[in-house]
Structure 1
Amino acid sequence: MYQMLDPATLTVLVTGATSGIGAASARRFALAGARVIGTGRRADRLIALRDELGPNFHPLEVDVRDNAALLAALAGLPEGFSAINVVFANAGLALGLEPAQAASLDDWEAMIDTNIKGLLYTVKATLPAMVARGEGHVVFTGSIAGDYPYPGGNTYGATKAFVKQFTLNLMADLAGTQVRVTNIEPGMVETEFSLVRFHGDETKSGSVYANLQPLTAEDIAEQVFFTCTLPRHVNVNRLQVLPTCQSFSPLKVTRG
């Protein structure tokens, strides 16, 4: 019989745990017996998760874009949660869908600060201890936008291309350490993603998912859980997941 890892042996750090894929992943791991540290900026949502999931969940109010605050928060973890061996660097966002020439520079900087710098801070704060212990797993929330461009995806897609390449380069650095690295690359997932992208415009965000069946946060959480509970000799480098209704567009041409 194929022997998967026991989730009870995992101590999982989930960034961006206040909604969407992060919250769903925190639930998936905690309910399976793992110890979960969930980070985010919305303390009320973290407390609600703690109330829901019980002692297996430790809330950690912190902004991953603030490296000093992140280091301090992780240094103060209670003993039962301090030996992190799964890091799900999930915190990220898309802002705006305008073409580059009309896009907001503030939106671009917010995506870079969260999707790239926040991810790097998270890895740098947790990776050395996993390498020292000789076991661990780093998982990223990438996107098919890191491979396939679309109009208005300019900086968001570029940040996810960074995540894709950083995954591969990290694997090269970690050869022989027994620390695994995985990039989960979803297509269309119905979460607060589009609501954030359109700055709270519910009409615009709702139209993205109208008359189709997108992936759910739970669908992606299941992929994260699967890759992290595979035997330690198995590393899933990249995992692209699309809803059945989504495929690829023809290349755009301009006539006249």
Structure 2
Amino acid sequence: MTDKKTLPTEVPTLYIVPTPIGNLGDITQRALDTLNNVDLIAAEDTRHTGKLLSHFGISTKTFALHDHNEQQKAQVLVEKLLAGYSIALVSDAGTPLISDPGYHLVTKCRQAGVKVVPLPGACAVVTALSASGLPSDRFSFEGFLPAKSKGRKDKFLEIAKVERTCIFYESPHRILDSLHDMLEILGPEREVVLARELTKTFETIQGLPLAKLVDWVKSDENQQRGEMALLIHGYRAVSDDSLPEEATRTLTILNKELPLKKAAALAAEIYNLKKNPLYKWGLEHLD
């Protein structure tokens, strides 16, 4: 462990400190210096953070701040800050507040006039996006997908015509169900990237049309394990010689209950299209 040094500011400060999402080599020197020199570390899981601190020889005391106690404990930390403490906020992995605790603490600090200093560092959302091959000029992070199928489908309907890249986190035990719900709502041709176990030994970044991605994940149980992010290509306006995405999506849904010929006829009537192109598309893309 390095000797304690004076922090860059003498004013009581809350530091937002990202930690690695997998590979410990991704922690920054500034993060290590800050964790070593603050008076207290507010951690999502003190046992988990304790292992990280031990690895780097840091002995700073920790304080538990997680989803279940943050609203009650945030004021305790603000009072410590106002009394002259310097505190670092960390989550189990990545940047605090990004689907992790910290919002209430940061809000209370700003309301109390406490200085808040963010450190740049690891974030699974940006890491996944940078290697996805999807448009990155406009994107939104939507957090974890709902646990129930209806909630997921409602969310997919909400973003069906959103033109920016949308990013979700998902748990491994729901990944197949979520992909099937996504397929039903967004259709088989929407490009989706699965980014799994980022920065770790078995890192996987696979992008495919949705129907093929579902089959790929289903065929390999290894792709149903670990930390996951799903990145969905934004809605693309179609050219005159293409079928509208909403028409093929409707055809996909109708075909679950009706013969393809009948489903194509109904979809064509709904969208004022010719039946044959829809029927041909169905033959090529649907079971």
Q: TM-score, normalised by structure 2?
A: 0.34
- Choose between structure 1 and 2 for higher RCO, CA contacts under 8 A separated by at least 6 residues: 1
Greater Rg over alpha carbons, structure: 2
